[in-house]
Structure 1
Amino acid sequence: MEMSSDLIKENHHLLQTCILYEVLQKTPIFDSYRSFCDTVGPDAMSYPDFLFWYLRFCRGELDFDYDRSVDPEPKTLMDMPVKLMPKIAKNLDPVERALLRSMNHAIKTVADSFPPAFEKIKIVVSDTSLDWNLNNQSFSCFKKGSGCTLYKRNCSTVEESEECYIKKSLEYLTPLLRVPNLQVNHLSLYFFDETPNFDDRLLVPLNAKSVFIWGRTTKKVVQFLSAMNPGYLESISLKFIFQREREHYRMIYETDQFKQAKNMKLKSPWESFNVEDLVNFSHLEKFKCYLTSENTFQDVPRIRDTISTFKKLESCEMVYFGLRDNPPITAFVDALGAEIPIGPLKEGEQLSITYRYQIPESNSCLEFKIKQNSEHTCRVNIVKLR
């Protein structure tokens, strides 16, 4: 007849005997407690109480009837000298500090006195998984049936959960992203599928200097761009795969994030900008984009004249597509009034032309470097020389 674990739980001496057995077996404390809980149940004794008796038995103090009420009140984390708390918080990485601040209000205040700063954060969301990288720490949460599996790639820990993979991932991400004054040098967001349950939780103001957002639609991309704190954000790179209406670009131009940025890169394989769009880039120091023209002879001088008025411009790069030109580099150079070098190209060499344009009433000039990019496009790099 097996003895019920309930009988052991009700007898304090039997519980102590179980602990003494683990000590005599020289089982490590944490493994001992795990074995103890497996035998008599996790609610039989708390870990601090188990630790107390385990350490007494290790010292050879075997009095089962020892009166613990005569002992001084045990110290807690909050009993440590106040000056030690900032030292502890300072030596933690941003992820550890985010966990520390959740312990209690006093520690939260100390942790928040050290604003977390990340070199890079990358978040990738699909309909089956959510991956995130925090500097050199990597995490992946995969959909598994109605639940999920969480991997921490820098260690062997694998966690199974009955929760949705989105919800489980946000248990880690949301507290971190909501830490006051969180700073990120580069933030990357990839949204391969529509994930409405994820969007609202991630849309929190962030201090990111540089951001790359990859989404299926302009609306999705702009939604997350608008969560970045304007003014702090300097560089924006956007890519969307289902962009059909050029009017949607206006959604980008109207954001404070775009208006206050210094650098911009916009790319869509479905649609390019045209000459009229360039005026929206006048406040930028650097930008990259695709540009399409139906009339190279008319549009290239307009490109040159428009860009020459940009006071803050340092450089820009365009992949130019002349709809009626083949090859477009010849038409582009002719429209600038530059000369095409005479003579054959070396094997593997692509045609490249450099042209300088003196900006009227200025000591500065624009240097154009035009190279053949493909059969239907040429790459135009423009630098302002002062």
Structure 2
Amino acid sequence: MPGQFERLFGHENINFPEYEFWYYRFLSGNFDLEYDRSSISQPLTLLDLPMDSLMEVIGHMDVKNRMNARKVSKSLRDVIDSRKVDYSRICIDIDEKSIRLELDDVVYNYSDEHFQKIALKNLENVLKSVKNVEDLHVVFYESTPKIMFELFSKIMENTKFDVGRIHVLVDRHEDAL
């Protein structure tokens, strides 16, 4: 059996859809390796949906699922980013050792080794797709490195959305100016 399988797929590993096809075929007792798969149409993916249907699906995702779905593929990320979202509340707390991002009722705490880069990238991605925010709260502490304030300011300069109320707390007044 290994000889026939190698003739079909070579010495390399097979991809998951190919593996899955053969696994379920063998599981059902069908061991014919001469089967011609070209007659079977390729399975459809989420991205094969019409754009209005895909936007409807994305519209029903909560914040956490949208953030996770962005990581799946560039095509899906582009679709998600093109759909503008309303938030009732966005809170951003930045200090020396952590960044806390609250999007409505979902909270992200970043405090591992590379937290600054990851947190700021996620924040930038979220803000790109914001349409309206009722309340925006931003807090910088005495311990917040000046570079973090500068990076945050740069993100905000490249972002456009409507805000109902803004609350900014900065312990170092020279940074606020």
| Both structures adopt the same fold (TM-score exceeding 0.5) | yes
Contact 1:127 1:195 in 2 (8 A): no
2:94 to 113, 119, 125: 125
Q: Distance in 2 between matches of 1:45 and 1:141?
A: 37
Structure 1 counterpart of 2:145: 194
Structure 2 counterpart of 1:171: 121
What does 1:252-267 correspond to in 2, within 5 Å? none
Structure 2 counterpart of 1:85: 54
What does 1:183-332 correspond to in 2, within 5 Å? 183-192=132-141, 193-197=144-148, 198-199=151-152, 200-203=154-157, 204-222=159-177
Closer, same or farther in 2 for the Cα pair 1:59/1:99, shift >3 Å?
A: same
Return structure 1 stretches of 4+ with deviation > 6 angstroms: none
| Stretches of structure 1 lacking an aligned partner (at least 5 in a row) | 1-7, 17-42, 149-163, 223-386
| Stretches of structure 2 lacking an aligned partner (at least 5 in a row) | none
Partner of 1:61: helix, strand, or coil? coil
TM-score by length of 2: 0.71
Task: Give the C-alpha shift of residue 213 in structure 1.
Answer: 1.0
Contact 2:90 2:104 in 1 (8 A): yes
Structure with greater helix percent: 2
Task: Give the C-alpha shift of residue 84 in structure 1.
Answer: 2.5
Partner of 1:214: helix, strand, or coil? strand
Aligned residues: 164
| Cα-Cα RMSD | 3.4
Contact 1:189 1:213 in 2 (8 A): yes
Closer, same or farther in 2 for the Cα pair 1:189/1:90, shift >3 Å?
A: same
Contact 1:100 1:107 in 2 (8 A): no
**Are 1:57 and 2:7 an aligned pair?**
no
Q: Distance in 1 between matches of 2:168 and 2:84?
A: 24
Task: Give the C-alpha shift of residue 81 in structure 1.
Answer: 4.3
Q: Distance in 1 between matches of 2:166 and 2:117?
A: 24
Aligned partner letter, 2:128: R
Closer, same or farther in 2 for the Cα pair 1:208/1:96, shift >3 Å?
A: farther
**Are 1:139 and 2:108 an aligned pair?**
yes
**Are 1:13 and 2:2 an aligned pair?**
no
Contact 2:146 2:175 in 1 (8 A): no
The higher relative CO (CA closer than 8 Å, separation ≥ 6) is in 2
Structure 1 counterpart of 2:85: 116
Q: Deviations over 1:68-88 (max 9, x none)?
A: 233223323333345522331
Task: Give the C-alpha shift of residue 120 in structure 1.
Answer: 1.0
Closer, same or farther in 2 for the Cα pair 1:47/1:219, shift >3 Å?
A: farther
Q: Distance in 2 between matches of 1:186 and 1:127?
A: 24
Aligned partner letter, 1:133: E
Closer, same or farther in 2 for the Cα pair 1:82/1:189, shift >3 Å?
A: closer
Q: Distance in 2 between matches of 1:98 and 1:118?
A: 14
Task: Give the C-alpha shift of residue 105 in structure 1.
Answer: 7.9
Contact 2:64 2:106 in 1 (8 A): no
Partner of 1:182: helix, strand, or coil? strand
